[in-house]
Every structure is written in C-alpha cells, then in structure tokens.
Structure 1
Amino acid sequence: MKNKTMAIVAYITLIGWIISYLEFKKSPEKSSLVNYHLGQSLGVIITSFVLSIASTIILAIIPSLGFIFYFIMLIPFVLLLLGIVAANNEVEKPVPIIGKIFEGRFNFASEKESKL
C-alpha cells in the first residue's frame, strides 16, 4: 500500500486505522507522512469516544439538549474529512481544533526503525 493511501485509510474508522497501522509497521521504509496522520487520526478517534461518552451522560441527565448534541457529534466526522483532505494532499497539517493537542504525542515508528 502506498504511503498516501495508508495516510488516508487511517482516517476511515477504527478498523481503517488498524489496517493502516499494521501496513505501516510491516513496511520497510517508515514514512513520516503516515506516522503523522496515524497520530492525528488516533487523536480524532479518541476525541470522538470521549465526546460520545460525555454526551451520553449529559443527555441522560438533561434529555432536552439532544438537538445540540447531534450537532456536536458531527464535529469528529468533519475533522476526519479535513484529515483525509490533508492526507490526500500529502501535507502534515494538524486537524483544526484538536490537531495541535495530539501533534507529536504518538510515534508509531520505533527509534530503532526510524534510524534505518
């Protein structure tokens, strides 16, 4: 799988992220583009889970806020789309709002592999 394709697939659900991660690990040349977008997409996935849990708890307490939380739950989807666009353009650009938080947090190429 090409580096660009692996970077794009990383944003397509958790299963896509796992596929991209496994392909990245077994590739002989570790691309910084794929490493970067694996981290960004994992950050969006984690944020999505946290938002989902928080909205479930809040909606159990105050059900009338449901309409607002439907829009809030669209945010991770939009972030995934923006990440796909950045990966397609082969740019290491953080996703808006949360991208800087997760930038550099994850390194999927081990030190030994990245020096090769």
Structure 2
Amino acid sequence: MNPKTQSILAYLGILWLVAFFGGKEKRDSLSIYHLRQGLGLLVVAIPVNVVLNVIIMLVPTLGTPLSLVSIVFLILMIFGIINAANEVQKPLPLIGKLFENQFAFLDR
C-alpha cells in the first residue's frame, strides 16, 4: 500500500487499522502525519459521540440540535481526506494542532 493510500485510509475510522498495519514498510512522513491526524480525529469523535448519545437518550428533544455536532466530525474527515489526496501536511481545523506531535508509536 502506498503512502498516499495510507494517508487517505487514516481518516476512515476503523480503516485506520488497515492503514497502520497494511503499509508499515512503505510509511513516510506524509502517511505518519495523516495517521496522527486521523487517529486524533477518531480519539476525539468517539467520546464526543458517546456523550451526545447519552444526552439524547436522557433528553430526546435535544436530538436534532445535538446530532448536528456529528456533522462537524464528518466535515473534518472530508478536510483530512482532501489534504491527504493532495499530499499536503496541513492540520485539521479545530483539533489538528493537538495531534501533530502525539502518538509516538507511529514513528517506529
């Protein structure tokens, strides 16, 4: 798997694992950068969505407004995929700077 494909897959949730394990031998700085960004997005999106779902279960009338928050993560995913496809190391809006130097295990 080439680095560009790894970079794109890094933003697609569970396919992050495919990108991580499937291309270890061909990993470069571009794919490592997008693996970090994609994992960071996943690490933020999962707990936020769990909390939102609990709130929606408790107060069903908030369902529509709070479900719009999930669209933010979809938009961030699209931004990441576009950056990866264009082979640009640009952080995701809002949360990208937090994960530029995280997840040291990706450097190995």
TM-score by length of 2: 0.91
Q: Give, in angstroms, the shift of residue 23 of structure 1.
A: 2.3
Does residue 97 in structure 1 map to residue 94 in structure 2? yes
Q: Give, in angstroms, the shift of residue 106 of structure 1.
A: 1.4
Runs of 4+ in 1 over 6 A off after TM superposition: none
Aligned to 1:4: 4
Q: Which amino acid aligns with 2:77?
A: L
Maintained 8 Å contact 2:2/2:23: no
Structure 1: runs of 5+ lacking an equivalent: 111-116
Between the aligned partners of 2:94 and 2:34, the Cα distance in structure 1 is: 15
Once the two structures are superposed, the pairs formed by residues 27-106 of structure 1 within 5 Å of their partners are: 27=25, 29-106=26-103
Maintained 8 Å contact 1:24/1:34: no
Q: Give, in angstroms, the shift of residue 82 of structure 1.
A: 0.4
More helix as a share of residues:
2
Structure 2: runs of 5+ lacking an equivalent: none
Aligned to 1:109: 107
Between the aligned partners of 1:38 and 1:30, the Cα distance in structure 2 is: 10
Q: CA RMSD in A?
A: 1.3
Between the aligned partners of 1:53 and 1:61, the Cα distance in structure 2 is: 13
Q: Give, in angstroms, the shift of residue 21 of structure 1.
A: 0.1
Q: Which has the larger radius of gyration?
A: 1
Q: Which amino acid aligns with 1:82?
A: F
> How many pairs does the alignment contain?
107
